[in-house]
Amino acid sequence: MQINGVDIADTFAEAFPMTATRLIITAADRFWALRAAESMTGFATSVIGCGCEAGIEREIPPEETPDGRPGIAVLVFAVSGSALEKQVVRRVGQCVLTCPSTSIFAGMESGKKIALGSHLRYFGDGFQISKMISGRRYWRVPVMDGEFVCEESTCRVAAVGGGNFLVLSETLAGALKACESAMHAMQQLPRVIMPFPGGVARSGSKVGSKYKSLAASTNDAFCPTLRSVTNSLLPPDVGAALEVVIDGLTEQDVAKAMRVGIHAACDAGVRYGLRAITGGNYGGKLGPFHFHLHELLA
Amino acid sequence: MSFLTLTSKQTPAAAIDWRGIEPGRLQGLTLTEVQRLEVPVDGGVCQLGECMRIRDGQRDGLILEGDFSACRNIGGKLQGGQLIVRGHAGDQLAADMRAGRIVVEGSAGRSAAAELRGGEVIVHGNVGEYAAGAAPGARQGMRGGVLVIHGDCQAWLAARMRRGTVVVHGSVAEGCAARMIAGTLVLCGPVRGPLASGIRRGTILCLDPRTTRSDAWPPAGFTAPVTDELSFLPLLASSFADHLPNWVVYPGERRALRSLGDRADGGFGELIWFDYTTGHAVAPGMSS
């Protein structure tokens, strides 16, 4: 199978189950809402080392936010409800509560509840005020610029993490161009995030390592510098491989994002030496969600 | 097809206790069964058909026609659906109501919505003492839901109110929000003191410039007013904006004047009002 002359490998990309929540951060203006969202979703590329994966889903116009101010929707993914709650409370406490003029609201109304304001309210040292509005409880925590408004809890749902595709290009510059194009297209989609820097990981990993303490290690089969000493999966004319990683609220969301991203990469990348698209296939060991590239793009 | 309609055979209607006569209970009953429903009247019991003319209709709502000012507990234990009173309602309107909607086209007696837990109660006329408040001996007043009063309120409105939202278009008499525990009170008309004496928590939004410009404002026991940036205000306003009278133009601002009290009791309730010097519309008959 080819798209614009780019080979699409007959393989599947593996993904694994996660749990996720959406939070809506509002602020006095877009600048501060974005700063809080960027801060909160920083250092959240992989559950392996960060505890969660998080990213900005979309911007929300003031007329659609609970308090009529500019908003940013962020998605946070973790491997369990308790891990998600821990990360959400920590990140909101350190990155949103601290950011001038911000408020935070639940972005999901169904699913299992996890704490938000019910923990953070204690920062108010007894001066916090609770309000029930339309059956939802909000906390008003006094801070130095006025009040930090925080919804009592948010909900989490089952989600899919680690959806991916690999971009194989003649040069690193070409691979970057293809990924940038893919990211631009995928960022328009709701319900998904690409948690790595710019949505792309260069340190794709395989399951396991020669070192017993490591659960994952470099994916040597896709490292161009190891082509001569390992069972390389890189075609001969490929000089760089990059991995686009996608977390989504459902399997369909991830599949759609992969489809959009691959098409965008192929449309742009062919001009810059894009040779092939493949998937992160770990022989079924990583997770139960298998995205077969040919089926996805048919 | 209209709702099931009960019209009083006498004016005013006999002193019926209406607790439990609500759309949910009438849902599966035939017209004959409705006529045979027994209700407490004047210390005795009678069948509904004896004191009411009953016109069949949809059972998800109930219409009461006549003067029911001698009746108690209209809408008591309402769990859903609509109840419309085409006339006056008596004491203890919406007692222990959990959900649904009550509209009283006339006035209501004492303790209206005093035990309200959920749903919406709209009174087009006036209400008596203890509306949304705890009656003497009761620990708490209203515990949820929304009460909208288009007319005036007598004393002890929202006294010991626990939760929910009350919007008053008209004037409010003495003792309003006394020892209020929590909840939201929106006062569009003039307020007679003492206001919020002993309030613990809760929010009172005063939209009447006559009150907030008076020398007695803020009430004794409250801190000196400070202009605060309250990002929460628009969210709070969304809970009552639909119930404001058309002559009130809600400023929609986040900056408001705020005063906390009743500090004499260590309370942390808040009075919020706006600076109306820029000509916001106010109650009829008053220039801004």
- Chain A positions touching chain B (beta carbons under 8 Å): 26, 28, 66-69, 101, 103, 127, 129-134, 138, 140, 145-147, 149
Question: Is 60 exceeded by the pLDDT of residue A228?
Answer: yes
The model's pTM is 0.90
Q: Please, which residues bridge with residue A16 across strands?
A: A161
Identify the closest residue of chain A to B203 by CA–CA distance: A131
Decide if pLDDT at B215 tops 70. Answer: yes
Interface test with B, best of A67, A103, A134, A150 (most B CBs within 10 A): A67
pLDDT at B143: 96
Please state whether the peptide bond connecting residue A17 to the residue before it is cis, i.e. omega within 30 degrees of 0: no
pLDDT at residue B260 greater than cutoff 80: yes
**Hey, are the CB atoms on A133 and B239 less than 8 Å from each other?**
yes
Sequence-distant (≥ 6) Cβ neighbours of residue B1 within 8 angstroms: B57, B58
Total residue count of chain B as it appears in this document = 288
Unique residue bearing structure tokens 């809760």: B202
Q: How far is A242 from chain B (nearest CA, A)?
A: 43
Q: Is B98 exposed, middle or buried (0-12, 13-18, 19+ CB in 10 A)?
A: middle
Q: How far apart are CA B247 and CA B207, in angstroms?
A: 11
- A133-157 in b/e form (b: 16+ CB < 10 A) is beeeebbbbeeeebbbbbbbbbbbe
By the 8 A CB rule, do B151 and B128 touch?
no
Mean pLDDT of A21-35: 97
Q: How many CB pairs under 8 A join A and B?
A: 48
Planar angle of CA A242, A243, A248, nearest 5 degrees:
155
- The 10s digit of each residue's pLDDT in A161-211 is 999 999 999 999 999 999 999 999 999 999 999 999 999 999 998 888 999
**The pairing of beta strand A12-26 with beta strand A289-292:** antiparallel
Chain A environment of B182 (Cβ under 8 Å): 130
Q: Give the SS3 label for residue B21.
A: coil
- Cα distance between residue A143 and residue B201, in whole Å: 19
C-alpha to C-alpha distances, B132 to A151, B108, B113, B157, B288, nearest whole angstrom: 26, 12, 5, 6, 30
- For residues A254 and A165, is the Cβ–Cβ distance under 8 A? no
Q: Give residue B277's pLDDT band: very low, low, confident or very high (50, 70, 90).
A: low
Contacts for B248 with CB less than 8 Å, ≥ 6 apart: B188, B207, B281, B282, B283
What distance in Å separates residue A72's CA from the closest CA in chain B?
Answer: 16
Overall average pLDDT of the B236-250 stretch: 90
Among chain B residues, CA nearest to A126: B268
Q: Which residues of B touch A127 (CB under 8 A)?
A: 268
Chain B (221-260) residues lying within 8 Å, Cβ to Cβ, of chain A: 228-232, 234-236, 238-239
Taking alpha carbons only, the member of A117, A114, A118, A151 closest to residue A134 is: A151
Residues in A closer than 8 angstroms to B184, CB to CB, are: 131
Give A39's contacts (C-beta < 8 A, 6+ positions apart): A95, A96, A99
Chain A residues touching residue B234 (CB < 8 angstroms) = 67-69
* pLDDT bucket at B1, cuts 50 / 70 / 90: low
> Which residues of chain A lie closer than 8 angstroms to B230, CB-CB?
146-147
Interface touch B270/A149, C-beta < 8 Å: no
Predicted confidence (pLDDT) at residue A146 exceeds the cutoff of 80: yes
CB contact under 8 A, B231 and A147: yes
Helix H or strand E encompassing A169: strand A153-169
pLDDT of A252 higher than 90: yes
| Helices A251-269 + A172-186 axis angle, to 10 | 130
Residue B90 to chain A, least CA–CA distance (Å): 28
Assigned token pair, A47: 């559950």
Nearest CA among A122, A126, A137, A139 for reference residue B267: A126
- B130 has a pLDDT exceeding 70: yes
Q: Which of B231, B217, B229 has the alpha carbon at shortest distance from B271? A: B217
Average confidence score pLDDT of chain B: 91
What pLDDT, on a 0 to 100 scale, did the predictor assign at position A281? 85
Q: In the predicted model, is pLDDT for residue B254 greater than 80?
A: yes
Residues of B in contact with A140 (CB under 8 A): 232
Percent of chain B with pLDDT over 70: 95
Cα A35 off chain centre by: 17
Pairing mode, strands B163-168 and B143-149: parallel
Best A96, A121, A129 member to test B by mutation, with max B CBs in 10 Å, is A129
